Structure formats: structure tokens, C-alpha cells
Amino acid sequence: MISRRSSPGLENALSNRARGNDATPERPVILVIDDDKASRESLSFIFGDQYEVITCISAKKGVAAVHEDVCAVILDVRMPEQDGFSACDEIRRSFPDMPIIFYSAYQSAKDPLDIINDHHPFAYVVKGGDLQRLVKLVGLAVQIQSIIVRNRKLIRRLQAAKDAASK
């Protein structure tokens, strides 16, 4: 299940992308991937006033929901069928610069240095820990990724202008 806290919906974002509409969303988009309904709902509540929040119930659906306008991913580590580490690796193949914040109750699932070296997360936050830390990290990730996305769109426009001028 994929849900969005506010009105435009994932379908609209995907259809705009399919039509080539590069308009920046009014609010930055964050993606929450967690099999726990309570976690998804609480994160939607916490971030919904400031961000467009897409929630996904599984790693597979979450990986499919990532698109260029997503500014940060909050990713649970332990989920059925596919864990957050392999989902992170899949997301990285298509979006190598995407800030991914692991958000899990299982901080001892893997050695922290192995997590950093193997998956390069933006951060790892323990559920039930410092919520203000998560809020600050998401804010920072969104700022950085928004700049990256804006620059990529500008480069595409400049390249298109250059190509048109050379014809």
C-alpha cells in the first residue's frame, strides 16, 4: 500500500514526471518505507505539515515509489520479504545521491561501521530515540537533495538550450 498524507497523490507526481513536467513540488517530498502502520502514521503526522509524505508498506513498494523529486527516504531496516539494507542498495542503483535515513528499532542488526561502509546511509536513527534528531536530519537531507535536484533540472534546461541553439 502506498499512501500520501496530502492531496496531489503519488499518481499525479508520477503522471507529471511521465509527461516531462519538471515543476518542483510545492513542498519537498519525503518517502517513508516501513511495514509498521503506527510508525508510518506517526512519521506522516510529524512531517506532514512541512513535507509531502509518501508512505509505503514494504521495501518493494518503496523502491518503486522513489522518483527524482523525492528529497529523502526514511527506511525501516527489518521488514518481511526484503530488508531495508537491500532496499537501500536498490535505491542507490537508480538514485546514487538519495539521502537515506535508516530508522529502526534494531540498532544491533549489523555492525554500525559495516552499515556505513556497505550502504552509505545519510544517517541511522533508532526508533524510540531522539525524535528531534530525526527531524533535524530529515531537514538537512531535504535541503541538500533539493539543491541537487534543482541543479540537475537547471543543467538539463541549459543543455536543451545549448542543443537548440546549435541547430
Residue 99 CA: distances (Å) to CA of 5, 7, 91:
21, 24, 10
Q: Are the C-beta atoms of 82 and 58 separated by less than 8 Å? A: yes
Q: Where are the domains of the chain?
A: 2-165
Q: How many CB atoms lie within 10 A of CB 59?
A: 26
In this structure, CATH architecture of domain 2-165: 3-Layer(aba) Sandwich (3.40)
Q: Tell me the DSSP string of 117-162.
A: HHH--SEEEETTS-HHHHHHHHHHHHHHHHHHHHHHHHHHHHHHHH
Task: Tell me the percentage of the chain whose pLDDT exceeds 70.
Answer: 83
pLDDT tens digits for 45-55? 999 999 999 99
CA distance 64 to 84: 14
Choose between 149 and 44: higher pLDDT: 44
CA distance 17 to 68: 9
Mean pLDDT of all residues in 70-84: 92
Parallel, antiparallel, or unpaired for β 52-56 and 2-4? antiparallel
67 three-class SS: coil
Phi, psi dihedral angles at 56 (to 5 degrees): -130, 140
CA 116 to chain centre: 18
Mean pLDDT of all residues in 6-27: 45
Cell of 154: 537547471
pLDDT tens digits for 54-67? 999 999 999 999 99
